[in-house]
Amino acid sequence: MAGATNRTLVLSNAQPGQAGNYSVAVFNAGGSVVSANATLSVGLPVAFTLQPQSQMVLPGANVTLSALAVGTGTIRYQWRFEGTNILNATNASYSFNNASIPTHHGNFSVMAIDNVSAATSSNAFIFIKILPGIVMQPVGTTNLQWQTATFSVIATGAPPLNYRWLRNGVNYLSNAPPTLVITNLQPNMAGSFRVTITNLAGTVNSTTVMLGVLADTDADGLPDFWETNYVGNATNMSATADPDGDGMINRDEYVAGTNPTNALSVLKLTLTTTNTAVLQFIAQPSIGYTVQYRTNLNSAVWNNITSVAAQSLMQTMQVNVPKPPPEPARFYRIVTPSVP
């Protein structure tokens, strides 16, 4: 090779055109000698001439994916699902029956291997065409100014699911999570909310629910209307005071729906006069409750006995409890709003 005078010949980035027989001539003042030929073969790296294609299929369908690669020597294949090798899937095509989620919904690819190199195909996304559906609708709520409101939805369907929340029919948050959290509520944030859920197969809309925001000018956890109703001013009531001396501060009286100026209007559990295995309390309209117990006052865990749904009228509610309890002692309480 002209100009090659070293004992070692280096070919960088060898190309097919450089394939052939190479020899070296060695000479000095006494003469010369030529080596035997060394044959250089330049193999082509494996490359795909046919990539596997994404498909949208119905549940239960039969699916075939195909690919084709060229290279040096025999081409070997290994199909993968979400990056994991599929057992015995070593041909240029791969087929499966009865397409389903989660077994087949996702990205398929194939690795091609020849005598000198390996390459991985692009992903083929198999989308199992299941429309989105809603199994739990969002629920409307009314919260105090400055506090937080939460709307949640549970949906089914082929992933990925995209959630878009709308307020008063106008986009509020796109590419959102299924739970919408709105902090630092202000009265002008009140309105209607719904969520649109979309996947490649289609779209579904949730029911429309309302967000109410109660003004709380002094941010004390007591709405203006409630303070005005009892003391005639939206900012003159102390949330931590107990003017009627019933053991409930004003903020707790508001949550429980009781009257902060009447000691007889109080949320508490009492024993019935005729049956010590029955507890009772006065339920206020439109408020839910949960009766709980624990066996040790120093324990942090409260166990639910029962929940009482909101009633339309004020009434006395009774709850059966074991007498005697199965443990050495039980301590009871009632909480509102109700807890899961």
Average pLDDT for runs of 10 along the chain of length 340:
64 71 81 80 85 96 97 94 97 96 95 94 96 96 96 96 97 97 97 97 97 96 95 91 95 95 94 88 95 90 93 93 89 92
The count of residues in the chain is: 340
**Exposure class string for 10-42: b at 16+ Cβ within 10 A, else e:** eeeeeeeeeeeeeebeeeeeeeeeeeeeeeeee
Helices (H), 48-188: none
Among the listed residues 251, 264, 309, 268, the one whose alpha carbon sits nearest the alpha carbon of residue 285: 309
Domain extents for the chain? 47-128, 133-214, 267-335
What SS3 class is residue 144?
strand
Which residue matches tokens 């400055």?
146
Strands of the sheet containing 303-308, edge to edge, are: 303-308, 289-294, 331-335
pLDDT score of 86? 97
Rounded distance between C-alpha atoms, residue 257 and residue 80, angstroms: 60
Among the listed residues 102, 108, 125, the one whose alpha carbon sits nearest the alpha carbon of residue 55: 125
Is the model's pTM score more than 0.85?
no
Residue 188 CB-density burial (10 A; 0-12 exposed, 13-18 middle, 19+ buried): exposed
pLDDT score of 24? 82
State the CB neighbour count (10 A cutoff) for residue 118: 14
Q: Does domain 47-128 have CATH number 1.10.620.20?
A: no
Rounded distance between C-alpha atoms, residue 274 and residue 264, angstroms: 21
* Sign of the Cα pseudo-torsion (262, 265, 270, 273, in order): positive
**What CA–CA distances, in Å, run from 90 to 45, 81, 99, 134, 184?**
19, 13, 20, 40, 57
**Exposure class string for 142-180: b at 16+ Cβ within 10 A, else e:** ebbbbeebebebebebbbeeebbbbbeeeebeeeeebeb
Rounded distance between C-alpha atoms, residue 32 and residue 162, angstroms: 78
Contacts from 75-78 at CB under 8 Å and sequence distance 24+?
75/46, 75/112, 75/113, 75/114, 76/112, 76/113, 76/114, 77/110, 77/111, 77/112, 77/113, 78/110, 78/111, 78/113
CATH architecture of the domain covering 133-214:
Sandwich (2.60)
pLDDT score of 1? 53
Among the listed residues 263, 264, 268, the one whose alpha carbon sits nearest the alpha carbon of residue 283: 268
pLDDT score of 18? 72
DSSP letter at 160? P
pLDDT score of 20? 77
